[in-house]
């Protein structure tokens, strides 16, 4: 697994074996960031990475100059890995938080320019995740919510749905909360 672009582009991430994760493929990350590059100047953006796992997406955002990246995962080994790698790469703007995502959504009161969520594909009520995140008040006006999901989950009827991108077996739905 590698960081695709930015200051740390090409650097490898070597998470410990047996982490309970399904990392986003390099192909999918590259495709998604090609899209994001057309919409965002990453310098100064605040990003929230939910179900962060190895932190692959968090490292990608931090490498591209985001001023604040918060990575949330409930697994302490995942959080420890993100913290240790952030230290190795001197990414002071990357903060890993050990928390259940749904409790985090209820109690965190900051807002972000981009929220990325890569939940377990077998998450009960995965189709409700967009409502839970947009309803939590975590998105700035015109912020993007990006959810990675299996092909059989359809978010196109959601009121904030904007677009869907597919890279191999990886699907991203984008939501823009304009209010």
Asked if residue 90 belongs to a domain, the reply is yes
Question: pTM surpassing 0.85?
Answer: yes
For the stretch 105-123, pLDDT in tens is 998 888 999 999 999 988 8
Structural domain boundaries enclosing 73: 26-177
Q: Quick one: pLDDT at residue 179?
A: 65
Asked if residue 16 belongs to a domain, the reply is no
Asked if 154 contacts 126 with a C-beta cutoff of 8 angstroms, the reply is no
* Strand partners for 115: 48, 145
Q: Count CB atoms within 10 A of the CB of residue 134.
A: 20
**Domain count within the chain:** 1
**CATH assignment of the domain containing 88:** 3.40.50.150
Asked if residue 133 belongs to a domain, the reply is yes
Q: Quick one: pLDDT at residue 86?
A: 97
CA dihedral 119, 155, 63, 80 (to 10 degrees): -10
Asked if residue 5 belongs to a domain, the reply is no
Q: Quick one: pLDDT at residue 6?
A: 93
Residue 15 above 90 pLDDT? no
Q: What is the mean pLDDT of residues 16-25?
A: 82
Q: Are strands 161-167 and 170-177 parallel, antiparallel or unpaired?
A: antiparallel
Asked if residue 168 belongs to a domain, the reply is yes
Residue 125 above 70 pLDDT? yes
Q: How confident is the model at residue 1 (pLDDT cuts 50, 70, 90)?
A: confident
Residue 174 above 90 pLDDT? yes
What's the rounded Cα separation, in Å, for the pair 146 and 30?
Answer: 14
Listed residue (137, 143, 144) closest to 163, CA to CA: 144
């Amino acid at each position: 697994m590698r960081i695709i672009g930015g200051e740390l582009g090409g650097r490898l991430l070597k998470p410990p074996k047996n982490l309970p994760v399904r990392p986003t493929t390099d192909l999918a990350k590259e495709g998604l960031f090609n899209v994001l590059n057309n919409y965002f100047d990453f310098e100064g953006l605040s990003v929230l990475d939910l179900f962060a796992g190895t932190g692959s997406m968090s490292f990608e955002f931090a490498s591209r100059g985001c001023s604040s990246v918060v990575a949330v995962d409930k697994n302490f080994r995942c959080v420890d890995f993100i913290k240790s790698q952030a230290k190795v790469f001197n990414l002071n703007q990357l903060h890993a938080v050990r928390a259940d995502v749904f409790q985090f959504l209820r109690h965190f009161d900051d807002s972000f320019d981009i929220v990325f969520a890569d939940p377990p594909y077998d998450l009960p009520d995965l189709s409700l995740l967009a409502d839970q995140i947009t309803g939590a008040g975590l998105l700035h006006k015109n912020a993007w919510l990006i959810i990675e999901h299996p092909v059989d989950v359809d978010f196109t009827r959601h009121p904030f749905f904007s677009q869907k991108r597919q890279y191999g077996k990886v699907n991203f739905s984008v939501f823009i909360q304009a209010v």
